[in-house]
Structure 1
């Protein structure tokens, strides 16, 4: 047995030359790699936690944070829509004018509006400013105060009518029938529209 043969080899292996072998325990390399990976992961986790804390205290990233969790938002009482003036058809005086070449339309429309509860004023042909110049179903013409009052109520009787204001000081409203007019809205539909004005749908609530 050579003097260079490590003890315990039993003479089975023989070392020649003038260099000693480097004896390492098995698995040391894998242990080092595992420790390095664990350290990198720990540093990354610590960094991510720091960022989250900063976002919590500064208010940043609220959208991202809320996206991953369920909110306990419960809808509270929903505010009502803007109130509608409670005008009744009998409180509105309607002047009915015919701006079409067809005769008898103003009288027929006025009679039907009277049956539906409206007060009727003047009935006749439209003035030169509107005669045969209204291609739509009709125009509601009145004072600026009628926009959020009389126009809304009378508009339930003739769907698609345009609105226009003038300088009058009275509360009456003109219904000028255009060439697109055939008849007033069916009474059941008009009544539904009137009911909707009296009880507007509530506005969506917020969380």
Structure 2
């Protein structure tokens, strides 16, 4: 039940972020719903393709789809009311979603007996894949690849799960809290990975 609650928080956070981006780009109501749903479930769909789980398994999450649709509807109908609170709690909700989805993606891959590399990839794609798809559909550079450290925390979670260092429920919850704290710190203190720009002179 606890993991389901965390998943709900993550789905709401990702669905809302997708809807907000769509409205910022002035998409119509269909575009808002599509971007919201894709952001919430896109990472899981890519993960399923990667590790061999039928993509149709996503359609069995009827309750989660209803939650995502309701979240997008609230954003579309009451944008000012929600955004006032979203600026305060949005990053925390997003961090919770990232951590929960990354760990779940890693557990999926471990359960199917995949190697460590696939476990890490499943964690990254589940945790940040939806955001990447959202930004690409919105014509933006994916924020998870250029803003504060994001996907690295999902990879770290996948690595720890894949190595068996969080082999019980307590270990998984501790890992979850660590990932949430790391993501919040990277946002608050603007932690970034090293980067280098390169332009060819004409």
Give the TM-score, by structure 1 length: 0.26
Give the TM-score, by structure 2 length: 0.26
Bigger share in helix? 2
Bigger share in strand? 1
